[in-house]
Chains A and B, each alone.
Chain A
Amino acid sequence: MILEAKGIKKSYGKRVNRTEVLKGIDLSIEQGEFVSIMGASGSGKTTLLNVLSSIDRVTSGHIFIEGQDITALKDKKLAEFRKNDLGFMFQEYNLLNTLTVKENILLPLSIRSMKKAEVEKQFKVVAEELEIYDLKGKYPSEISGGQQQRTSAARAYIHQPKIIFADEPTGALDSKAASNLLRKLQQLNDKSNSTIMMVTHDATAASYSGRVIFLKDGLIYSTLRKGDRSQEEYYKEIMNTQSVLGGVGVES
């Protein structure tokens, strides 16, 4: 088990104006899993991702990554931990505009004492896998949204983190670019046995993952596993669950 969360609670605001976003969540993720988290706006999915990925702190509860309780770590240690063991993808690509594609991707490696040749090899593997190797000298403003997001994926992968956290990675992409990206993520997940946790509100995106966790009002509502089903069947099931969850139609 690579990640285990126990009794996660998170609330914002002072005593008077307190809103509880996460009301006690238990979950565990195995090595090599590709997990999606879904839920309506305000259900707490992004907050969950933030606390699991140590960007935000929990109000109570414990998170263990490979047995280490990260809720007990100091800020500095946490930053260190993020730097070494986690990879991130965000909705707004989150690339640095002043850096070229290659520089953006290699940024997480800058803190390691790796041999240059080794770094180059690693870069080549990941960038070719994501089909952005030819763009390495371009600036983010010179490439398309889909290419930017793939760059962001490459940055998340380059240092071979224990878990990759992705927050609505397809949110700003058109459907073709989105499916392209997700297929790549799926391939990488299969090939390198990496663990991915992705927040999304898009059923299509979720259908690429092996397990979907539905959140509702700060609690886990249900979990779906793909199992041996085809992606299409799986997608339908996700849609059904989502409509039950949202009451009427599908939340977009």
Chain B
Amino acid sequence: MSLNSVILKNFFKNLKNYTLYIFALVFSVALYFSFVLMSQDDGVAEELTSSELMSTGFIVGSVLLIVIIATFVMFANSIFLKRRNRELALFQLIGMTREKIFRMLIVENAVIYFGSLIIGIALGFLVYRMLLMVLLRLMQIDLSVGMTFSIEAVIQTALLFIFIFALLLAQNYIFLKKTSLIKMLKLEQSSEASYRGMGAVTVLFGTLGLVMIISGYWLSASMMNFTNALIFLMFGVLFLTIAGTYITFKFSVAFLLNMLRKSKNGHVNVNDVLSLTSIMFKMKSNAFLLTLISVVSAISMGLMSLSYISYYSVEDTIEASVPNDYTFYEEEDMEYYSDLLNENDIEHETVNIPTVSYDVEGDAIAIDAEAPGGFDTALALSMVSEEHVDGFEVEGDEIIITGVPYFLDSYIEFKLNETITLISDDYERDVELVSMGENAILSSFVTYGSPQAIVSNEVYEELEENHNYDEEMNQPREGFAIDITGEDSESIYQLMNEDNYSQFESKINQYNMQMQGTGLVMFIVGFVGFAFLLTSGCILYFKQIGESEDEKGSYNILRKLGFTENEILKGLTIKMVVTFGIPLLIGLLHTYFAVNAGGFLFGNEIWTPMLTVMGVYITLYSIFALISLMYYKKVVKRSI
């Protein structure tokens, strides 16, 4: 048998082990390629309001993808090298030189790698259309998706993967160079020696890890109370949670499981053997990897949740902050466009709302004293008379507050049926807060971002009269707007926009821009997050394959002792739940606290988006756990 045939035979025997690796590789090539193709799609770029946003987004996304893919490939390679250690040592033992083995590895890797590259590109081309449709749908753009195959994209993808391939070769070379024959033969046994008892250090650090994470969470939840050291605190939270995660994996899990174990005082059953005791040792040695996975999971879940929150809240945000279909800066602009609409037989209504601004205080308004951004000046309200707006009923001294921006919402509490004092210089007027509205009635450039308040006509006249007229503030102001009867549409916006008479604000246009922006961000974050999820799932799976090989002997013993396949699998199921569950759980908790601390800045609807993202993560992790369990099943079946 010639050397080449040995290599070939060996390769095909190993191919089965590589299945998931190849799958993940093909998938990452496909993801990357379709990503590049999308970023080069002219049709989309033209359609977008801000193509700059798109290109920046795609560049950031592709850099992240490259980092994820390169890390994954190298990590998987190192796992495979370790697994094939004995085989490589055997080759050396029968007299093969290191160079020859290295060449063999090059050939093997090249076949797998470039095979996956070609398949991946083909798949990527197919997937790309689908993904583009998803993206356009998210951005709510109607555009038929064409097929553009760009050689440039192929070259870009190929270059990247050739670069990663070079990294792999370097890794293989270093591995072969570094390890001596005797080490290679012994490597497999070395892991066995680490089963030892726990010292006081474990107990100490085990407690520390948990304390660090919990205090990190506590800080993140109460961060807003310490405005002056916000940046400092944020780094503190990051440090506490990340270092805490590492220590948790390294010591706390083992520590907790050991306590549980001690409580059994030696009376372990088969489930304990397969899950508890095995995890106790394995998690310790995988601490760094697990920390990396759960922290990056948390980051990607957090970003996905936040971008989904802002995407999800676009409609609400716009609805709450932009009251009319079109808003104008001057009265004559409004009149001009009103005439234009009349010429085109579009039914509409003009809206004209005068307003005066009053500072307010009183029992009804509780401002969180430690709120950031300095609420040193009093809260101002834009007062509007009841006769100018629909849907609000006020009588006498009553007042209704509406259009509170959601970022203010978290710091100010409005109490119903309490008194509010309206102040303008020396003039003061008491009114009673009777109810809260939701949507804004004036455009933000009229109110300077303050909430609006509706009072009865009499009160308004009084207020207007006593108001301190201020040239600088241009008070009182008036809001000029047009509401289209029935539905506003893109074509009406185009008609008005093309006329080019003067600038105005359009609700539909704002909505579209925000949808596109947040949609694109969400898509890219989701895309990268998915790539990460896929690769990290694969890595956990590879780890499980390795562990199942290590533990083969245990299954053999257990089965000889008379434990059935099912009993062993039951124990392994618990093990899977814990191994996949703990990183997931920590990731989920991190995400929850991160989103809770910062989510309100992105939108008012936090729960639905966050739970959706978490649900997707949990589902995909469960799939990987299930695949691992199936692999275990095969190993257990073969073990006797």
Contacts and interface: CB of A to CB of B under 8 A. Distances in A.
Partners in one complex: yes
Interface of A: 55, 75-76, 79-84, 86, 88, 90, 94-100, 102-103, 105-111, 116, 119, 123, 136-142
Given A98-B281, A99-B277, A107-B561, A141 B192 contact: yes
Contacts of A80: 562, 564
Given A100-B266, A109-B267, A81 B562 contact: yes
Interface of B: 192-197, 265-270, 273, 277-278, 280-281, 553-554, 556-564, 640
A150 B280 CA distance: 26
Contacts of B194: 141
B557 A98 contact: no
B220 to A, nearest CB: 36
A102 B213 CA distance: 34
B196 A139 contact: yes
Contacts of A81: 562
A98 B268 CA distance: 12
Nearest to A55: B560
A79 B639 CA distance: 14
A142 B640 CA distance: 27
A119 B267 contact: yes
Nearest to B269: A110
B266 A98 contact: no
Contacts of A98: 195, 273, 277-278, 280-281, 554
Contact of A84 (B554, B562, B564): B562
A108 B281 CA distance: 22
Contact of B270 (A84, A110, A140): A110
- Is the contact region of chain A dominated by helix, strand, or loop, or is it mixed? helix
Nearest to B261: A103
Contact of A86 (B273, B562, B563): B562
A107 B561 CA distance: 9
B320 to A, nearest CB: 58
Contacts of A83: 561-563
A80 B559 CA distance: 10
A136 B266 contact: yes
Nearest to A123: B266
Contacts of A103: 266, 268, 273, 277
A163 B97 CA distance: 52
Contact of A88 (B192, B265, B560): B560
14 contacts: A79-B562, A79-B564, A83-B563, A88-B561, A96-B558, A98-B280, A107-B270, A110-B267, A111-B269, A111-B270, A116-B265, A116-B267, A141-B194, A142-B197
Most buried by A among B269, B558, B561: B561
Contacts of B564: 75-76, 79-80
B552 to A, nearest CB: 12
Contacts of A76: 564
A142 B562 contact: no
Nearest to A165: B560
A94 B197 CA distance: 19
B590 to A, nearest CB: 29
B273 A142 contact: no
A108 B640 CA distance: 18
Nearest to A109: B267
A197 to B, nearest CB: 15
Contacts of A82: 560-562
A91 to B, nearest CB: 12
A79 B563 contact: yes
A99 B560 contact: no
B268 A107 contact: yes
B260 to A, nearest CB: 13
